[in-house]
Amino acid sequence: MDTTTPLPPLFISHGSPMTALEPREAGLFMRQLGPAIERSFGRPRAILVISAHSLTREPVLLAGAQHAAVYDFGGFDDRLTTLRYDAPGAPALAVRVQGLLQAAGLPVHMVDEGGLDHGIWTPLRYMFPDADIPVLPLAWPPHWAPAQLLALGQALAPLAAEGVLIVGSGSITHNLRRIFGGGRMNVDQPATPESTAFREWFVARSAARDWDALAAYRSVAPHAALMHPTDEHLLPWYVAAGAGGRADAPRRIHASVTFGDLGMDSYAFGPMAPGLAQALGPPPP
């Protein structure tokens, strides 16, 4: 049964491409997340995804009628290229989103093309493995500041009450060069102090609804440049947060780390976030 209850926008850390083969704690969480959403809010009518790997000079809606997995990476396990996620597209939703962004005075383009990068199909394969919910990727400009991306998310906010699950996909910390170039190839390595400090700063500033600090994270968060040499993996957080609104504190609904540095935290936004957290239950010991 499709949802009529507003859905909480989400930020999901998809990590490295290997998450698709090695779920670990984050993948197990994603497997629980889809059913928890359906139990609490009903089945999403469609999913709008803002991924760290679909980047453009101005917002672009991929409005094709059909999608397939795009293997936008190299140097990883060849088995990744055998994984599929042939979800339907959402052309009608694309028209609705185009109207919302235009009404907000934001630039937007629409192309009759499909394709899901690994930041989209990795979490969705765990959350909704049947690939039967229409998906609309929104490519976005990585040069936009957090304040601009919060405004982009705010323009998308009405969709949450229309059965659309809004998902930002990235990683709460993301410096693969530090991991793979620094010889820290042990996936079970404990969290580094730098990763922990950055991630816990985000939790604390979120709980305080300190939107000014969150938007200025690059200059005020501990180890910001180290955890995000480039920030395209964090910026989808702001789109999802904008869609949830500023009245409610962003809520971390999952926390884990791989390779010591790669944060896999996920967040929910808006007034429905506590209900989703309750449906997920306490994290495993």
Each residue's pLDDT tens digit, 197-229: 999 999 999 999 999 999 999 999 999 999 999
Sheet containing 135-139: order of strands: 109-111, 60-62, 135-139, 46-51, 164-170, 10-13, 266-268, 251-254
- Could you tell me which of 127, 118, 4 has the C-alpha nearest to residue 53? 118
Q: Are 242 and 151 in contact (CB under 8 A)?
A: yes
Query: What pLDDT, on a 0 to 100 scale, did the predictor assign at position 185?
Result: 63
Per-residue confidence (pLDDT) for residue 187, from 0 to 100:
77
Domain 10-173+235-255+266-280 classified CATH 3.40.830.10? yes
Write out pLDDT tens, residues 92-139: 999 999 999 999 999 999 999 999 999 999 999 999 999 999 999 999
Q: Evaluate whether 198 touches 220 at the Cβ level (below 8 Å).
A: no
pLDDT on residue 1: 47
**Residues of the chain predicted below pLDDT 70:** 1-4, 182-185, 283-285
Please state the domain extents for the chain. Answer: 10-173+235-255+266-280
Angle at 55 between CA 108 and CA 59, to 5 degrees: 5
Maximum Cα–Cα distance across the chain:
49
- Dig out the tokens for 226 from the structure: 């180290």
Crossing angle, helix 236-244 and helix 146-156, to 10 degrees?
Answer: 50
Residues sharing a CB contact under 8 Å with residue 34, sequence separation 6 or more, in sequence order: 126, 127, 128, 129
Strand extents, DSSP E, the chain? 10-13, 46-51, 60-62, 109-111, 135-139, 164-170, 251-254, 257-258, 262-263, 266-268
| First vs last C-alpha separation in the chain | 33
* Average pLDDT along the chain: 94
Q: Are strands 257-258 and 262-263 parallel, antiparallel or unpaired?
A: antiparallel
What does the DSSP 8-state code read for residue 84?
Answer: -
Give the other-Cβ count within 10 Å of 76's Cβ.
Answer: 15
160, 241 contact by CB (below 8 A): no
- In this prediction, residue 186 carries a pLDDT of 72
